[in-house]
């Protein structure tokens, strides 16, 4: 269902790294509550897009603009983007030795609350909230006490990323191959956790290679991404067509 308020507007974006242009004249608009999926071959620029949106260092914007909730995203630091409501579930979540997940999550949540002029949660209120959300994802207290992602399986890391999303309540969450490394049970837990957060206002941008995740988190729009831009847009049936045909025919058609 399309709402009137754009969450994200990407206009004629060109970006790259080390002098190589990867994103080429990209245009994309995401409205409140919409779920968009981007699918494309390796090297198409999908992960580069997620890095540019979240402000990862090393990427150069050569032209175009990105508006997030009406603000110029490119003028915001990575932490400001996060506090404004942008969130990334990473393909390969990083490890932070020596920092417990409990400490990390409390700091992140209170930093966002402070940014928005809200009072910080005390220890009792935070513990009540995190226990409630962790239980939904089958995350134990022992896992919360461990160092961030250290020694975690792929499925455990993605569940912890989903827990972060539940606590931080972003307006736009980017899932960069969130299904990577997940078995069937872990995929179901993560997908169910994300679906439970949908409220017709939160938007998702799902970057994936496979249909499995899109069977559980149903997209409103599917975009085929090739050579740094979108070459075809359709509904959820486009993902099924891709699963059967592959990318080659679509890329060839776009080049004609």
Q: What is the pLDDT at residue 256? A: 61
* Percent of the chain as helix, strand, coil, to the nearest 5: 40, 30, 30
Q: What is the pLDDT at residue 1? A: 46
Query: In sequence order, what DSSP letters do the residues of 197-211 get, joined into one string?
Result: T--SS-EEEEE-S-S
How far apart CA 153 and CA 130 sit, in angstroms, is: 21
Q: Which two tokens mark 99?
A: 């920092």
How far apart CA 237 and CA 12 sit, in angstroms, is: 27
Q: Give me the phi and psi of 168, to 5 degrees please.
A: -85, -20
Packed helices 101-115 and 154-168: angle between N→C axes, nearest 10 degrees: 30
For CA atoms 157, 42, 173, 70, give the dihedral sign: positive
What does DSSP say about strands 221-226 and 229-234: parallel, antiparallel, or unpaired?
antiparallel
Q: What is the pLDDT at residue 136? A: 87
Q: What is the DSSP letter of 94?
A: P
Domains in the chain: ranges and CATH = 6-255 (3.40.50.300)
Question: Do the beta carbons of residue 207 and residue 218 sit within 8 Å?
Answer: no
Q: What is the pLDDT at residue 6? A: 92
Tens-level pLDDT at each residue, the chain (256 residues)? 445 779 999 999 999 998 899 999 999 999 999 999 999 888 888 989 999 999 999 999 999 999 999 999 999 999 999 999 999 998 888 999 999 999 999 999 999 999 999 999 999 999 999 999 999 888 999 999 999 999 998 888 988 999 999 999 999 999 998 887 788 888 888 888 889 888 888 999 999 887 888 999 999 999 999 999 999 999 999 998 988 888 888 887 877 6
How far apart CA 219 and CA 30 sit, in angstroms, is: 12
């Amino acid at each position: 269902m399309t709402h009137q308020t754009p969450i994200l507007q990407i206009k004629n974006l060109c970006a790259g790294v080390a002098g190589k242009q990867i994103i080429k004249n990209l245009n994309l608009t995401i409205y409140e509550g919409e779920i968009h999926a981007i699918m494309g071959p390796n090297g198409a620029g999908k992960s580069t897009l997620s890095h540019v949106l979240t402000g990862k260092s090393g990427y150069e914007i050569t032209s175009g603009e990105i508006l997030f909730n009406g603000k110029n995203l490119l003028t915001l630091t990575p932490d400001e983007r996060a506090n404004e409501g942008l969130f990334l579930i990473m393909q390969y979540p990083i490890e932070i030795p020596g920092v417990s997940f409990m400490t990390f999550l409390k700091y992140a949540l209170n930093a966002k609350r402070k940014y928005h002029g809200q009072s910080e949660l005390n220890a009792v209120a935070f513990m009540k909230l995190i226990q409630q959300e962790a239980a939904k994802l089958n995350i134990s207290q022992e896992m919360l006490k461990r160092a961030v992602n250290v020694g975690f399986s792929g499925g455990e890391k993605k569940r912890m990323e989903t827990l972060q999303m539940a606590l931080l309540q972003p307006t736009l969450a980017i899932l960069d191959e969130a299904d990577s490394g997940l078995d069937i049970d872990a995929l179901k837990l993560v997908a169910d956790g994300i679906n439970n957060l949908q409220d017709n206002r939160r938007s998702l941008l799902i970057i994936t290679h496979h249909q499995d995740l899109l069977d559980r988190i149903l997209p409103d729009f599917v975009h085929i991404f090739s050579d740094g831009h979108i070459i075809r847009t359709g509904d959820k049936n486009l993902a099924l067509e891709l699963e059967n045909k592959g990318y080659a025919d679509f890329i060839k058609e776009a080049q004609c």
